[in-house]
Structure 1
């Protein structure tokens, strides 16, 4: 006699007030960068509360990884939208950002005012070494998940060479990776199966609240509609770009306000692959193109962002603060910095809501589409190469005092001046990597230890 498994009872749908409390909790506890935040959402929403099933969660995550901008914040917005329509998406997305944004604003002001105090300078010297270890750990962590065969490793290597040697733009690299996955699905689909999908022997997942809502016909807002898409565009495009155009008209094209608004608006469109991939683009532009900050400032900003809850991309708020603080015009520098940070936040995160509210209904209709999944799998592999480029960029500027572009076979890669190596930074970075990768110490422990070591080194040498 065959005994059938009992049907798992469906969890009850949360009220908007209950969802508000859970999203606030996630926003306050969302430390550890995108990987930690996605893991936290998975535990709270999939494992503990079963508001969304495993496969829907992965499907939404794959779409968010395809989008420009912070995938963890967009994933929260997506799930909030599924549960409670537009209001739920706004609540989830805003609460994911606001706690970290307020903390980052205060830290940016303290950095701008007291950065050159010797003790603070020594502290950030140690933090830089820890940040380098954190980025290397991100390469290892994401690589283990994404590079499951030699083909995926080849895509990652090709992406790294394309951005480091050929200096190809991010959108082109992502587009080529997506095209590779789409074509590869036709000829070798087994090589492009996303992690966590299609594994032999998988146990059917327990249904979630969203699955029950779909069965009862309560997800009408998730049905694609071109009329609704046009309404979303008519509302969100002016909200996003209106302030930028107004600042351009009021202050001119060369003002720092127009530069901040225009640059981060473009960044919101052309940077793919999550926070670490975005940072490479921002660092190069903020340091080399606009001169808003030095390479060391960018590494310091990433260290501050790593210690705050919320998306790691909040480091751009630090960039916007320093850009306006150092170019305040007639305004008080602190006020200018705060306004610069606010403008940066707006043009960085307003598009995130636009992408979700516009595209999520169409993506829901593509659940189970193997060609899309294959493209996303290849894109994830390419992102590993992009993050590896970021790790190399940080390594050059943390471990060496001088970096120069050297022409080799018509290419001009950035290479270190070997005689300018900083042995103190190299020692701290090596210790931080051993702590995180070998002894598996946490991010906060490593950051605190390196900061303390930086102060000790400064005191001993002085």
Structure 2
């Protein structure tokens, strides 16, 4: 391996380890930080290519932000880059979660980090708004695409439709609308659409298989192979937000296997919420509780491994799909639908972060942090890392001064 290749791998490792450390706020925030680093600052990808990857990633199972990291690594440094970027993005969350699991098992409680998170959460909103501004300008190319985006927002907010299904509907209907006058439907293009349909159908079948296989198993002991197999299946069918993981864990590990108590599950979910990086690192915490360090390893590998496989299979297809007029229209529609999804997620995060249950129903300090963070990111191009660190410090100082959230 020459020095240039090693240098690229080193750049990927440094960048994605940093993003794994500061990556609070969920997939939308992670993707916003990646866009800032790999498109705006380093120009490894064009904004159009980055949008294509977001759209494609939203249509396959697995944690979206982790898969975006893997995509970028593959494009920038090949197969080794795929592995390095994915592992380095996941590793900080896994190490932090494993440390918290040890603390939890040893002392029966969790450390207090709420003051830091109080400042970080509204800052993350500002970071996401910065990315939405840039990606939205690139994705909304025409009035038709704007109408498609608004339609997807309506599907998500009014009908509570699953994210992947909403994006698929937006992509197919948008493709028909944008290219409806084109009668050149080659067998290759039809095959691409059929592949998307079969993938969705196979995923729905796999979801049913997960539930069926779990129901036939019982017992209090957790063989490592069985623990790993459970998380491998979950990682293979987990569409949309990583927060859907909770449903699988409740049904499988608490109700059917009885490997976790309800309280342990709630604590595991809390760990996933206040640690940086992908929320699926919750699997590390659960694996440690059930079977110690070996359990943490097999649970982590099981839930993340499918993402590497899916991205390796999908990435080479994205440029080929863009080359076709019909599938290019499909990708444009999915891309604008993905931006619409980010808008909906941002609205939900904003409602949860900036409001309080009592009069005046608004947390003015959190609102101020969000506005200042957005201005610093959009107008002055502040790095997300500094915004996260600064907001955490504000949260800590506010708690010391007795500010009540």
SS in 2 for 1:441: coil
Counterpart for residue 343 of structure 2: 388
**Are the structure 2 counterparts of residues 262 and 399 from structure 1 closer, same or farther at C-alpha, using a change threshold of 3 Å?**
farther
Indicate if the aligned counterparts of 1:400 and 1:420 stay in contact, CA closer than 8 A.
yes
Of the candidates 52, 74, 86, which is equivalent to residue 97 of structure 1? 86
What does residue range 204-283 of structure 1 map to in structure 2 within 5 Å?
A: 252=218, 257=227, 260-267=231-238, 270-271=239-240, 278-279=241-242, 281=244
Distance in 1 of aligned mates of 2:286 and 2:356:
23
Aligned equivalents of 2:347, 2:42: Cα separation in 1: 35
The 3 A distance-change label for structure 1 pair 432 and 152 is same
Shift in CA distance, 437/251, structure 1 to aligned 2, threshold 3 Å: farther
1:9-64 superposed Cα distances (whole Å, 9 cap, x missing partner): xxxxxx578535423421322355446546766799987xxxxx989967984884
In 2, the alpha carbon distance for the partners of 1:397 and 1:46 equals: 34
Equivalent of residue 449 in structure 1, options 365, 375, 390: 390
Higher percent of residues as helix: 2
Pairwise CA distance, 1:145: 1.7
Deviation at 1:421, TM superposition (A): 4.0
- Other structure's SS at 1:461 match: coil
The CA deviation at 1:134 is 2.2
Aligned to 2:97: 108
Match of 2:375 in 1: 434
Q: Does residue 368 in structure 1 map to residue 323 in structure 2?
A: yes
Q: CA deviation at 1:391?
A: 1.1
1:445 Cα deviation after fit? 1.2
Larger radius of gyration: 1
Unaligned ranges ≥5, structure 1: 1-14, 48-52, 190-228, 230-236, 272-277, 306-313, 403-416
- Give the TM-score, by structure 2 length: 0.67
For residues 113-151 of structure 1, the C-alpha deviation after alignment (integer angstroms, 9 at most, x for no partner) is 488545x33222212222222233332232122112322
Report the TM-score, using the length of structure 1 for normalisation: 0.59
CA apart distance, 1:170:
2.1
The equivalent residue for 2:190 is: none
Query: What is the CA distance between 1:100 and its match in structure 2?
Result: 2.8
Q: 1:217-242: CA deviations, max 9, x gaps? A: xxxxxxxxxxxx9xxxxxxx9xx99x
Structure 1 residues 19 and 249: CA distance shift in structure 2, 3 A: farther
> Match of 1:315?
279
Matched, 1:458 2:399: yes
Pair 1:285–1:391, CA change in 2 (3 A): farther
Structure 1 residue 450 displacement after superposition: 0.7
Q: What's the offset of the Cα at 1:279? A: 4.8
SS at match of 2:381: coil
**Inter-partner Cα distance in structure 2 for 1:146 and 1:262:** 33
Secondary structure at 2:323 match in 1: coil
* CA distance in structure 2 between the partners assigned to 1:35 and 1:148 by the alignment: 20
Kindly indicate whether the alpha-carbon contact (under 8 Å) linking 2:150 and 2:340 is maintained by their aligned counterparts in 1. Answer: yes
Q: Which moved more, 1:134-143 or 1:28-37?
A: 28-37
User: Is contact 1:299-1:394 (8 Å) kept?
Assistant: no
Q: Deviations over 1:301-342 (max 9, x none)?
A: 3xx22xxxxxxxx3322x2234445xx24x44xx37733xx5
1:280 Cα deviation from its structure 2 partner: 6.2
**Compared with structure 1, are the counterparts of its residues 186 and 99 closer, same or farther at alpha carbon in structure 2 (3 Å cutoff)?**
closer
- Cα 1:46–1:26 change in 2 (3 A) is same
Task: Find the partner of 2:8 among 22, 34, 54.
Answer: 22
Aligned to 1:343: 299
Shift of 1:167: 0.9
* Distance in 2, Cα, partners of 1:55 & 1:425: 30
Which position in structure 2 is the counterpart of 1:353?
309
